[in-house]
Amino acid sequence: MKKILVTGANGQLGTTLKKLSPTTSDHWIFSTKSELDITNSNSIKIFFTENEFDICINCAAYTKVEDAEKETEKASEINVEAVQKLVSACNEKQCSLIHISTDYVFDGTKGTPYTEEDPTAPLNQYGKSKLLGELQIQQNSNSFYIIRTSWLYSKTLGSNFYSAILKKAQNGDSLTVVNDQMGTPTDVANLAAFILKIIDKEPAIGLYHFSDEKIMTWYDLAVQILKEHELTNPIAPSSTEKGGAVRPKYSPLISIKKF
């Protein structure tokens, strides 16, 4: 049985993987930042020396798109330099790395869904840091899976778009939601299931896209959330505010890799 490390275990993906993993298995280790700080080489060295892993699923990431415009060094520390450290540790221990990336590595000008073969051109600092992390893995890792996903949300965990819209609606608030960005919103439970499939099937190493298949705007997703909960709050479409991080207008993902 494979022994698996999950970094960033307190996030919505790490928490979801914990729920889906065998509850009685000691072959899954879920590490929080206090237990394993992936930005610290010594922390990684100690953790990988004291434990043996076949697979490392890196769920730790800097994901604050707006803040990354000012906190470029912090975004790079977590999304690039820490990834480089994980690659080195995984190579030394002959451990495969599963890493999560984003649709924001694209500029949104293609007009049709992006595949694994499309050229990248990130518009903001967050996307740039995630792309540099991908390149660290592709250029240096001996065994890896990079999984790009899109507009990740959870129906049950933490603070995210789904929970924010639902809370406002349940409080009786009217809603105004951006309607000029298009993507493929993805339930974190479906992404977690895809990762488990990767672990089980062991397809060819490399880059994979995974997202839910329905293309929509944030406004469309908000409308869907209200319908799911039989709520009738007023909801108005809006345009993306100027200033801050530039986001791709059209960044749905599709995969041309099947297994």
Q: What string of H, E and C letters represents the secondary structure of 5-17?
A: EEECCCCHHHHHH
Closest CA to 254 of 162, 186, 179, 180: 186
4-155+186-209 to CATH, choices 3.40.50.720, 3.40.50.2300, 3.40.50.1220, 3.40.50.300: 3.40.50.720
Give φ, ψ of 221 to 5 degrees: -65, -40
Sign of CA dihedral 132, 138, 144, 147: positive
Give φ, ψ of 134 to 5 degrees: -55, -45
Tokens of 196: 């488990």
Give the pTM.
0.93
Give yes or no: 126 in active site: yes
- Residues 62, 114, 126, 162: which is the catalytic one? 126
Q: pLDDT (tens digit, 0 to 9) for every residue of the chain, 259 residues total?
A: 889 999 999 899 999 999 888 755 678 999 888 899 999 999 999 999 988 899 999 999 999 999 999 999 999 999 999 999 999 999 999 999 999 999 999 999 999 999 999 999 999 999 999 999 999 999 999 999 999 999 999 998 878 899 999 999 999 888 999 999 999 999 999 999 999 999 999 999 999 999 999 999 999 999 999 999 999 889 999 988 777 889 999 999 999 998 8
- Partner residues linked to 183 by β-bridges: 216
